Structure 1
Amino acid sequence: METILSNKRYRNIFYSFSLLLLIVLVAIRYIGVPAWDPSISRNGPKAFAQLIEGLTTSLIVTILIGSFLFFATPAVMKVAKIEPVEPKMINDLLKTATATSIAWTLRGAMGRYTRAETLPALIKRARVSGARRSLRLMVLDPDIARVCHGYANYRNGVASSSKVQTPHTGATVRNQILATVLTATKASLTESMIDIQIYLVPMWSVFRIDLSDEYAILTSEDPREPGLRIDRGSHFYGTYSKELDFIALQSRSLPLPDSSSGLLLSNASDVKVVLQSLGIAHADLSQEQCEEIFQLIDSKSHQYV
């Protein structure tokens, strides 16, 4: 019962089905039974009515007891767990975590979801609550061509690639990464309530880790594949937290400018200027590529749309 009620989707299905079943049972008892043909059996309708009443009572009692035990159980008594997450539930789980987390760490590839959803949500919550948020962002190093090309080849080979009209290339992967880095840099320049750290990782992985205050979400880059939820307090939550610390130590940390630097990111012409301040290669970027990267900054497209 706890497994069903702890999952929002399963809980809605359970209560909806239970309500529908109750309506059916009550309708049979008070509409169907009275219309029963009395010539079939004198005691038949009465016995059937009693059976329906008994089933209805048992169902109501079961729902009430199960709901009471679930909602009355203190959070501290619920054992930290590791459980699979259906693909369609990953987006909701990530959004739920951003609403309460103070600190967030991403170890990903291009960071599209973080750019489109997580970072704006953290900024919004920081403004509303008045409490600072922090984001530690780990994405692929756009200056290492073999890493970008290798990841592009991997993404073109996953099952969901059949839905993508334009295949990934080393250049498109690089542009996505640069857009994520620039988005985070812009936030560090304009948002005083969020602390951002950016690390450029020299290797790609088939897994992505989102570490929130309450749980970690381990996913693959294929949105059709299930994920894994790892609650805080479990052994593996601490293990993945240490893993992210070690990855950060082996990655290139970017020196983010502050608001006093006078840097702006208001149009495509500012792209190269900001990249130069971050120490990221930019000389080979054409004006067309700068325009594309600048447009990606405000893009809300990601794998879970």
Structure 2
Amino acid sequence: MIRLLAWLRGNIDGVVALVLAMVVGVLAVLDLIDVDQVNAVVLLVLGLLATTLLRDRQLSAQAVRDASAVQLLYGPDIGHAHTLARRDTEVWIFKGGTGTYIRAVTLRACVENARREQRPLRMQLEILDPANEPLCKTYAQFRTSLSPETGRSDEAWTTERTRRESYATVLAACWFRQRFTFLTIEVGLSSVMTTFRWDLSSSCVIVTQDNPNTPALMFERDKPYYRDLNRELVASFKQTRRVQLSRCEELPLGNEPTVDEVRGLFDALGLGLPASFTDRDVADITRRALQPRNPY
């Protein structure tokens, strides 16, 4: 009964038209109404049918728009979509693991595009907190589970590597901030791991995963969900531990920062490097920050 009532409520105009047609048809056969009355009812039925058709057409068009709101991207299309998203954007919001691809490609490319066009650029990066060792261990285990057999050319994911990658992203943010006046960049350290990477530009949101066999999702700005995902990223960033990047202005970094410069920077930021980190470890962080390898 509930299903029947729901069906009647959704198709009331068609039901009314059908009932009117049947009633008028019976009355006309019995010669109980004249021709003028029949014509009037026919016009009414046609009007109801036209209304039904217009409503169905509108619903169909809406369904098509909703279906095209999300695009699936595979293989090279993912990189191409990122390239187009970086081209004219004035904002880039990232949420993910350690920001490896951000350092290797996105940050540098966005700064170069903005400098060439002499326009401001705002970036917001949410990465794993390198001071949270259990969290970094969990992330390393997750990454290892995706590709348990590491080849000779691939570097294994460990707790220490995860921490260095996050530290490198902070260092890269400071380095670029000092070299491009119109770059406004924020870094938030998250205490929660995510298995997705979110990249939001002025034109779209691209959601990827670390599994290369999984397609990426793209939501364009003028389609549904872009605003919702933007709101989600802003809300998530507000829950992070904010890095006070403004303090880096007091400690200029060289084109190739020294170990002492890097240590002093992290101390000033309130992110003092672990005592177990040797000078070689610090140099490795610098290499990952300024000479990153594109993981894809």
Shared fold per TM-score greater than 0.5: yes
Indicate which of 249, 252, 271 corresponds to 1:263: 252
TM-fit CA distance, 1:160:
7.9
Moved over 6 A (4+): none
| CA distance in structure 2 between the aligned counterparts of 1:176 and 1:156, rounded to whole angstroms | 15
TM-fit CA distance, 1:281:
3.1
| CA distance in structure 2 between the aligned counterparts of 1:267 and 1:218, rounded to whole angstroms | 36
The residue type paired with residue 98 of structure 1 is R
Contact 1:232–1:238 at 8 Å: present in 2 too? yes
Indicate which of 99, 111, 126 corresponds to 1:138: 126
Match of residue 286 from structure 1: 278
TM-fit CA distance, 1:274:
0.8
| CA distance in structure 2 between the aligned counterparts of 1:185 and 1:234, rounded to whole angstroms | 34
Point out the structure with max Rg over C-alpha.
2
| CA distance in structure 1 between the aligned counterparts of 2:127 and 2:294, rounded to whole angstroms | 15
Instruction: Give the TM-score, by structure 2 length.
Output: 0.72
Q: Deviations over 1:198-239 (max 9, x none)?
A: 111111111010001111000012233210011112332112
Q: Deviations over 1:142-177 (max 9, x none)?
A: 010111000000000114864463321110010011
The residue type paired with residue 227 of structure 2 is G
Query: Counterparts of 1:57-136 in structure 2 under 5 Å?
Result: 81-136=69-124
The residue type paired with residue 287 of structure 1 is D
Report % sequence identity: 23
The residue type paired with residue 289 of structure 2 is I
Structure 1 residues 259-268 or 109-118, which shifts more? 259-268
The residue type paired with residue 288 of structure 2 is L
- Structure 1: gaps of 5 or more residues: 1-76
Q: Deviations over 1:96-128 (max 9, x none)?
A: 111111100000111011111111111111111
**Count of paired positions:** 228
Query: Counterparts of 1:142-291 in structure 2 under 5 Å?
Result: 142-159=130-147, 162-163=150-151, 165-257=154-246, 260-265=249-254, 266-284=257-275, 285-291=277-283
- Structure 2: gaps of 5 or more residues: 1-64
Instruction: Give the TM-score, by structure 1 length.
Output: 0.70
Indicate which of 276, 284, 289 corresponds to 1:297: 289
